[in-house]
Copies of this chain bind each other. A is one copy, B any other.
Amino acid sequence: MKVGFLQMEPDFGRVRRNVERAFSLMGDCEADLMVLPELFNTGYQFASRDEVKALAEEVPEGFTTEAFIYEARKRKTYFVFGIAEKVRDRFFNSAVLVGPEGFIGVYRKIHLFSMERLWFAPGEDGFPVFDIGMARVGLMICVDWLFPEAARVLALEGADIICHPSNLVLPHCPDAMVTRCLENRVFAVTANRIGREERIPGKALNFIGKSQIVSPRGKILYRAPEDREEVRVLDISPEEARDKLITPENDIFLDRRKEFYERLV
């Protein structure tokens, strides 16, 4: 199965341009599953709720999702991409999954980072896993990496591949995702953006790039640089994620001792 990411630098507020550039950057790369960054079509640093309102889209009826459904059919590719989602009078920081069969599902970010909570409502529907035939795909967004519960829930729900659209500014996530993959024996595709935004004076954000694909044994199969747009597709075997044995005697899921984890909930 060919999975990949697009690491790009969105142009804030220019949704159509960003969507067109995304497809242009992906060119005619062949992939079964591609992951794009969080809020890839709008840019990250909103300065007012009105901006969010102007740029958010409905799912699946909005421009961006429809464009991806069209391309998914044409390319026979599944796509995960992050956008600002409008749901009646509320907005979510969402990741959308579409495929050749059309719209599949959406994840609304559960853990909101910093100023995101000024604009977005926190997700109310949990961490979803979708079976796309070749693999079971789990969705989480950016700072969800910091909460071990996110990847854990996805893996326990059967995810083989965690698709992780991101706009990372802190330095720790790429290495921490290695731990997430090891402790859950899953693949993870983190698609991050690059570049800088300072739409709010004094609140500059520098995005760290380093999009990557990590194996269930914690191997960084590929990590992108910090400062360059890049498309990368690798061949993986999703069934590697279904082997949870770390020794002949230790299955990391069967060995969990839930009776001692009550404090977590």
Name the B residues within 8 Å of A247 (CB-CB). 113-114
A176 within 8 A of B: yes
Give Cα distance in the complex from A179 to B263, angstroms: 20
In the complex this chain forms, how many copies of it are found?
Answer: 2
- Cβ of B153 and Cβ of A260 under 8 Å apart? yes
Name the B residues within 8 Å of A180 (CB-CB). 179
A264 within 8 A of B: yes
Give Cα distance in the complex from A255 to B113, angstroms: 9
Which residue of B is nearest A155, CB measured? B263
Give Cα distance in the complex from A183 to B250, angstroms: 25
Binds B, one of A23-31, A76-84, A144-152: A144-152
A43 within 8 A of B: no
A265 within 8 A of B: yes
Name the B residues within 8 Å of A258 (CB-CB). 264-265
- Cβ of B146 and Cβ of A246 under 8 Å apart? yes
Considering only residues 164-196 of chain A, those with a C-beta below 8 Å from chain B are 170, 172, 175-176, 178-180, 182-183
- Cβ of B182 and Cβ of A146 under 8 Å apart? yes
Which residue of B is nearest A261, CB measured? B149
User: Could you give 29 example pairs across A and B, Cβ below 8 Å?
Assistant: A110-B257, A110-B260, A111-B255, A113-B247, A113-B249, A114-B247, A115-B249, A122-B257, A126-B260, A146-B182, A146-B183, A146-B246, A147-B183, A148-B149, A149-B152, A149-B256, A152-B263, A156-B264, A157-B263, A172-B178, A172-B218, A175-B175, A175-B178, A175-B179, A176-B182, A179-B180, A258-B265, A262-B265, A264-B264
A121 within 8 A of B: no
- Cβ of A250 and Cβ of B156 under 8 Å apart? no
Considering only residues 229-265 of chain A, those with a C-beta below 8 Å from chain B are 246-250, 252, 255-258, 260-265
A91 within 8 A of B: no
Name the B residues within 8 Å of A143 (CB-CB). 250
